[in-house]
Amino acid sequence: MTPALADSYRYCRSLARRTGRNFYFSFLTLPRGLRRDMCVLYAFMRLTDDIGDDERIPIDDRKQRLKSWRSELRDALAGAATDSPALPALADVVRRHNIPAEYLEEVVSGVESDLTPVRFETSADLDRYCYQVAGAVGLCCIHIWGFHDDRARDAAIDCGRAFQLTNILRDLKEDAENGRVYLPQDELERFDCSAADFIGSGPNERVASLIQFQVDRARIDYGKAAALDNYLAPPGRSILSAMLRIYGRLLSEIERRRYDVFSQRIEISSTRKLAIAISSAAGRKFHADKLR
């Protein structure tokens, strides 16, 4: 590994540790090399999101920056030099794990779609968005972790959709205040809700029923995502367990608070996330030891 490539890996690891929140703790379940590679993937996702989310920059400029970022990504994957501290390591990870470049471009497309007010007419529109910003990430992940069955691809997409829907429910108020309503319009109408209902200080009965409906939908996706365990190489099973437990706990907390995602942000403490990661890794090790 060249010094420049080593510097790129160090940059990605540092960024993941500083900003990874729910993700970084699950990375701790992986062997050192795969943990390093997941930090690189996370860094790319974080940097892409940051371009789209920087409200200090006019939207047209952010669009241009994302266009330039997409071009720089393509060049880096083709072997060209880059000024980005993250892309050299990303190109190395993509090459070693045979990650299709189209998955990374889907992520850029998903961030681009967030630059304008978001309105999805149907659940199919929401599914498409979830694929871009989360399902495609899941597909990248299984290439890093290793899988032995093509059914892993559909399960990874289900997993990403479950996680993204959890995030959408948790952030309903904040997103609505920024002109983003990710829940489908036909379902809002079914429950007689509108974006204005998400900006209040607490849920009314109609909003609570809508959120309960979405929680039930997410639970179905979590159930489908659990099947991914059967298709992964052993190193990926611990991190999958940790991520499902962390995000599943967020969903359970939404239920425990009777669907009030408005008065206080729903989070899991770092201590709890670390405990989940440790127990997920230990549980897998215990199971492997029993099989020897």
Domain containing residue 182: CATH number: 1.10.600.10
Q: Look at the chain and report how many structural domains it folds into.
A: 2
Q: What is the pLDDT, as a whole number, of residue 242?
A: 85
pLDDT digits (tens, 9 = 90+) for 91-106: 999 999 999 999 999 9
Task: Evaluate whether residue 108 is within a structural domain.
Answer: no
Among the candidates 69, 99, 129, a domain finishes at: 99
- Do 181 and 43 share a structural domain? no
- Do 125 and 34 share a structural domain? no
Q: What is the pLDDT, as a whole number, of residue 266?
A: 80
Task: Evaluate whether residue 225 is within a structural domain.
Answer: yes
Q: What is the pLDDT, as a whole number, of residue 292?
A: 33
What are 71's two structure tokens? 């071009």
Q: What is the pLDDT, as a whole number, of residue 72?
A: 97
Task: Evaluate whether residue 176 is within a structural domain.
Answer: yes
Is this model's pTM higher than 0.85 or not?
yes
- Do 129 and 238 share a structural domain? yes
Average pLDDT, the chain: 89
- Do 268 and 232 share a structural domain? yes
Q: In the predicted model, is pLDDT for residue 18 greater than 80?
A: yes
Task: Evaluate whether residue 110 is within a structural domain.
Answer: no
**What is the residue range of 56's domain?**
1-99
Task: Evaluate whether residue 109 is within a structural domain.
Answer: no
pLDDT digits (tens, 9 = 90+) for 98-156: 999 999 999 999 999 888 877 899 999 999 999 999 999 999 999 999 999 999 999 99
Task: Evaluate whether residue 93 is within a structural domain.
Answer: yes
Task: Evaluate whether residue 259 is within a structural domain.
Answer: yes
- Do 93 and 3 share a structural domain? yes
| Burial profile 187-226: b = 16 or more Cβ within 10 angstroms, e = fewer | bbeebebebebbeeeebeeebeebbbebbebbbebbebbb
- Do 74 and 205 share a structural domain? no
What are 87's two structure tokens? 């892309």
